[in-house]
Amino acid sequence: MGSVLADTSALYALINPEDDHHPKAVEIYGSLLQRQVVLVLPNFILAETHTLINRRIGHLAAREFLQKTIQDFNIERATVEDEWTALATLVEGRRSKGLSYFDAIAVAVAERLGIEEVFTFDRHFKLMGLKVCSS
């Protein structure tokens, strides 16, 4: 049983039936559950996703998301070292062009934990060397 990092783009698509990636997100999530992977969600990504849901769908959906996610995912707190690694990644800039601080933190957490696969629809993670779940 391995671990897979979860990203905002996939989580948002998973809960929003109107998102273009919703069908694929549901398919991939089902596959991850069948594989019995540990779904790791950095606390920064949890906060980013909650904010996005709150603004686009509403506070009730955002609250439901928090309740389910905290129960079903392994929430990983970013360390100070993760924050320094994220900053260095953004300052370096070669591979990280357009990468958000949230995503840089997620990449740092994945590196620290030895996670090589991410549940996302964001192309930046592939550019940073992570394998993107396809199903």
Residue 134 CA to residue 27 CA, distance in Å, equals 9
CATH code of the domain containing 21? 3.40.50.1010
pLDDT of residue 53: 97
Phi, psi for residue 95 in degrees, rounded to 5: -85, -20
State both tokens at 104. Answer: 């840089």
Bridge partners for 125 per DSSP: none
Q: Which residue has the tokens 């920064």?
A: 44
pLDDT of residue 2: 93
Number of domains into which the chain is organized: 1
Q: Which domain does 79 fall in, by range?
A: 3-132
Residue 5 CA to residue 117 CA, distance in Å, equals 6
| Residue count (the chain) | 135
111 within 8 A of 89, measured Cβ to Cβ? no
What digits encode the pLDDT tens for the residues 22-64?
Answer: 999 999 999 999 999 999 999 999 999 999 999 999 999 999 9
What digits encode the pLDDT tens for the residues 106-118?
Answer: 999 999 999 999 9
What digits encode the pLDDT tens for the residues 117-129?
Answer: 999 999 889 988 9
Q: Is the model's pLDDT at 95 over the cut of 80?
A: no
